[in-house]
Amino acid sequence: MAAPLCVEVEFGGGAELLFDGVKKQQVTFSGQEGPWDIQNLLVWIKKNLLKKQPELFIQGDSMRPGILVLINDSDWEQLGELDYQLWDQDSILFISTLHGG
């Protein structure tokens, strides 16, 4: 059995409102359900964390346009987007840009 995978997910820029205002939380996946990539993480988030209006966060299989994803402080576009394989202790930050400023 593979070692459990523990990552931190963080929500900002207003996205936290879809998660009851919770900005940061630790998420642990046990090895059997792996391998874990961002695609699977999104499915998991939609099922377990999203409290309301999933269409404001996820569109189809991917992110709603306008919500940025930073993995360990790097734009996910550089890291393979949905195909990026999660490592233990990774930090994934979702920032919404969709509001006035």
Partner 1 sequence: MPAPTCASCGSARAALRRPRSGQALCGSCFCAAFEAEVLHTVLAGRLLPPGAVVAVGASGGKDSTVLAHVLRALAPRLDISLHLVAVDEGISGYRDAALAAVRRQAALWELPLTVVSYADLFGGWTMDAVARSTAGSGRSRSCCTFCGVLRRRALEEGARLVGATHIVTGHNADDMAETVLMNFLRGDAGRLARAGGLGSAGEGGALPRCRPLHLASQKEVVLYAHFRRLHYFSEECVYAPEAFRGHARDLLKLLEAARPSAVLDLVHSAERLALAPAAKPPRPGACSRCGALASRELCQACALLDGLNRGRPLLAIGKGRRGLREEPPACAPPAAAPTPAPAPPPPTTCAQQNDLRSRSVTCAYQTSIGM
Taking CB under 8 A as the binding criterion, the range among 28-36, 37-45, 47-55, 73-81 that sits at the site for partner 1 is 73-81
CB 40 → partner 1: shortest distance, Å? 18
Burial (Cβ within 10 Å: 0-12, 13-18, ≥19) of residue 42: buried
User: 10 pairs with which residues across the strands?
Assistant: 24, 93
3, 28, 32, 73: which one contacts partner 1 (CB under 8 A)? Answer: 73
Helix (H, G, I), strand (E, B) or coil at 91: strand
48 binds partner 1 (CB under 8 A): no
Distant-in-sequence, close-in-space partners of 17: CB < 8 Å, separation ≥ 6: none
Binding-site ranges for partner 1 (CB under 8 A)? 12-14, 17, 65-66, 68, 70, 73-75, 77-80, 93, 95-101
